[in-house]
Amino acid sequence: MDCDIRLLTNVDDDPAGFSALVEVSRADYAQRNPGDPLPGPAEIAAEVFITAPDRRGLVLAALVGDEAVGALSTATESEPGDENQVSSIEIVIKSEFQRQGVATALLAEALPRLIADGQTSILGYPCADFATDAAVGLAAKLGLTPRQEERCSRALVANIDDDLMATWIADAVESADGYRIEQWHGLCPPALAEQWSRARVAMEDQPLDGLDLNLYTRNVEQQRQADQARLDSGFVMYRTLALAPDGRAAGMSEIWVHQERPQIGFQGDTGVMAAHRGHGIGRWLKAANYQLVRRHHPELAIIETYNAQSNPWMLAINVAMAFRPHHIYTGYQGPIGPALAALGRS
């Protein structure tokens, strides 16, 4: 299919291209999440136009005439000097235009740009519940291999037991004697910024299975800039930090809510540092942060989270809290050079 591929750098430079991105993104979302309120243009823009200091991305829209047919977005998050540059790619194609070469046209435009930017491998997570034989076949053609299964889970707020959440908090306060929590929404208070950054180190030992990724933790200034960008895009972050008796970080949890769609919360990271595990702090963080969000958003109806299927510890907490499997995503990864060659481009 002969597609008009548009490179998008922001919301305003190419209104027709951005409208196409919004249209195909909303169509894909509606297929995967029937009954949800659809994300608006501001939320979609926030997800694809990355402004964090340690992240960069590429956004393409595909049109045939005036009709939107597909879109591609990438995200690369890396520590300065890291030679392992992994670009996560998401492709969405309108159902009636699948198997017509739209994905190939988008990739043929994207991959040379990623290589020029120093990318070394690509990673994609097609939804196993909706992935077609064509999607799996394209991954194989590109030389990508399955590396990890990730579970998207959802909790209906109506099914979360408030008494259970109170019990989790009370049990942790007793078990983790001398520990305390701090909570806020929006930007991190300056007095807590260093410990918040330290707490995020807990995420560096999350299961990666076969993924070739180098995990790292943002420093205080990188985190502040990333948070400010997210706030500017309409998201509000609700965060709970656990501190040990000596005042140093023990763990953290966060949930994001977009102001245009406050019925849905997105669970970000939850982690407890290795030296502080075994005291119920993970449950404490999840329960207390949930209570924080509910105080600000009584209209909240759904919380969505992602975990590796190989992470039984956090999955167990989530299931006990009322999260249930929503979709399974399979991560396919491979080197970018052979992927481009497989498309007949070099």
pLDDT tens profile 100-123 = 999 999 999 999 999 999 999 999
Token pair, residue 274, equals: 């290795």
**Residues 140 and 188 reside in one and the same domain:** no
Secondary structure element (H or E) that encloses residue 220, with its range: helix 220-232
Is 155 contained in some domain? no
Same domain, 165 and 66: no
Residue 336 maps to a domain: yes
Does the pLDDT of residue 142 top 80, yes or no?
yes
| pLDDT band at residue 55 using 50, 70 and 90 as cut-offs | confident
Task: Answer whether residue 131 shows pLDDT above 90.
Answer: no
Residue 345: per-residue pLDDT: 57
314 and 209 co-located in one domain: yes
- Block residue for tokens 């299931």: 319
Shared domain for 239 and 136, answered yes or no, is no
- 190 and 336 together in one domain: no
Selection from 281, 186, 207, 279 nearest residue 241 by Cα: 281
- Domain check: are 10 and 121 in the same one? yes
pTM (2 d.p.): 0.95
Do 95 and 169 share a domain, yes or no?
no
Residue 298, Cβ neighbours under 10 Å: how many? Answer: 9
Expressed as residue numbers, the domain containing 10 is 4-149+332-342
Mean pLDDT for 283-287 is: 98
Domain total of the chain: 2
Residue 81 has pLDDT above 80, yes or no: no
Contacts with 288 (C-beta within 8 Å, 6 or more apart), sequence order: 169, 181, 183, 240, 253
* Judgement on whether residues 312 and 167 belong to the same structural domain of the protein: yes
Q: Is 2 helix (H, G, I), strand (E, B) or coil?
A: coil
Is 327 inside a domain boundary?
no
In a domain, 154, yes or no: no
129 and 213 assigned to the same domain: no
Q: Write the CATH number for 300.
A: 3.40.630.30
- Res. 263: pLDDT tops 90: yes
Q: What percent of the chain is modeled with pLDDT above 70?
A: 99
Residues 110 and 180 grouped into a single domain: no
Q: Give the pLDDT of residue 294.
A: 98
Co-location of 186 and 257 in the same domain: yes
Span 188-216, mean pLDDT?
95
Mean pLDDT of 236-246: 98
